[in-house]
Amino acid sequence: MKNRKLGSNGLEVSEIGFGCMGLSFGYGPATDNKKAINLIREAFDNGVNFFDTAECYGPFTNELVVGEALKPIRDKVVIATKFGFQDGDSHKPQDSSPTRIRIVIEESLKRLQTDYVDLFYQHRVDPNVPIEDVAGTVKDLIKEGKVKYFGMSEASVETILQAHKIQPVSAIQSEYSMWWREPEKELLPALEELGIGFVPFSPLGKGFLTGTIDMNNKFGSDDFRSIVPRFQEEAIKANQELIEIIKRVAKDKGATPAQIALVWLRYQKSWIVPIPGTTKSERLNENIGSVNVELSVDELNNINNSLSKITILGDRYPKHLQERI
């Protein structure tokens, strides 16, 4: 496992990270704590040193699991967590007030069993708090040694520019994958110009790009995909065209669809670090194995040409959740 630089401020992480959210939140029942801890440590043993969590995952329970798992190896890993919701609850309004940010860092440090957070993201932009105040507060936390690097999630280019003037932003986290390529239009060019790293969440399309989801899948009420337009039967059926493209490439490369989806992201930019999540050891090792898959220029061009000819059906979120996941 090689390292990649996220931004120009010195942050380096493994070329594949681990999105820990699904261990506790969003995809059905929470994983047993012991199993979750073992899985996080297995990821580390296999070269992953970049772990992503947030206070609102649970809420709070995911940070507790991550903290317990990484405590023995704290000096060897990079922990990213997030602030931005009232009371740490993603069902409540955004709250990035300086007072709230300071409360979050103190509580997160306790749950994570550490005295600093490597990467502190604003989870969602708060329209009621000037971004200059947010960046300024994180800047103070960096001076105090409680935070090392500043990040933002799902922020517009304009907002990133405003924040970056106050406190250099090291990483932006937003959704990006073969079936959500919106960041290519404005975000990625801006990040390249500014020297900011990019951390795609849902790099496997919330599981869809693994090729294991079809019209027969039924998601429980505790799995938020049950209300996502792209996971309704009509959309799943229509979007199988994308899966067929990925499967053909995977067969030619002796890889899995998930590995092709991840290696495609890795080849977009040298400063992109996806954070796939899983609750299963075999899927973890499959994801990590993607770093051993190579694509030639012609293969990458052929994939992109195929992708450009299809239209993905369905929104990525229901309208009422656009700002919350």
Domain of residue 66, CATH code = 3.20.20.100
**Catalytic pick among 57, 121, 149, 176:** 57
Asked whether residue 308 is assigned to any structural domain, the reply reads no
Asked whether residue 298 is assigned to any structural domain, the reply reads no
Token pair belonging to 262: 């991840």
- How far apart CA 138 and CA 162 sit, in angstroms, is 14
| C-alpha pair distances (Å), 113 with each of 11, 65, 107, 220, 237 | 21, 10, 10, 33, 45
Q: Half-sphere exposure (CA, 13 Å, Cβ side) for 318?
A: 9
Within 10 A of 71 (CB to CB), how many other CB atoms are there?
12
- Name the DSSP class of 74: G
Asked whether residue 255 is assigned to any structural domain, the reply reads no
Q: Are 240 and 209 in contact (CB under 8 A)?
A: no
pLDDT tens for 213-236 read 998 888 998 999 999 999 999 999
Within 10 A of 229 (CB to CB), how many other CB atoms are there?
14
Q: Profile the chain (325 residues) by mean pLDDT over runs of 10 residues.
A: 96 98 95 98 98 98 98 98 97 97 98 98 97 98 98 98 98 97 97 98 97 91 92 95 97 98 97 98 98 97 96 89 54
Asked whether residue 311 is assigned to any structural domain, the reply reads no
Token pair belonging to 317: 């979120």
Asked whether residue 197 is assigned to any structural domain, the reply reads yes
Asked whether residue 40 is assigned to any structural domain, the reply reads yes
Asked whether residue 268 is assigned to any structural domain, the reply reads yes
pLDDT of residue 216: 87
Token pair belonging to 231: 């996971």
With 0-12 / 13-18 / 19 or more C-beta atoms within 10 angstroms meaning exposed / middle / buried, residue 183 is: buried
Asked whether residue 138 is assigned to any structural domain, the reply reads yes
pLDDT of residue 256: 98
Q: Half-sphere exposure (CA, 13 Å, Cβ side) for 128?
A: 10
Number of domains in the chain: 1
Based on the residue annotation, tell me whether 27 is a catalytic residue of this protein. Answer: no
The H or E element spanning position 64 is helix 61-70
- How far apart CA 82 and CA 85 sit, in angstroms, is 9
Q: Which domain holds residue 105?
A: 3-206+260-293
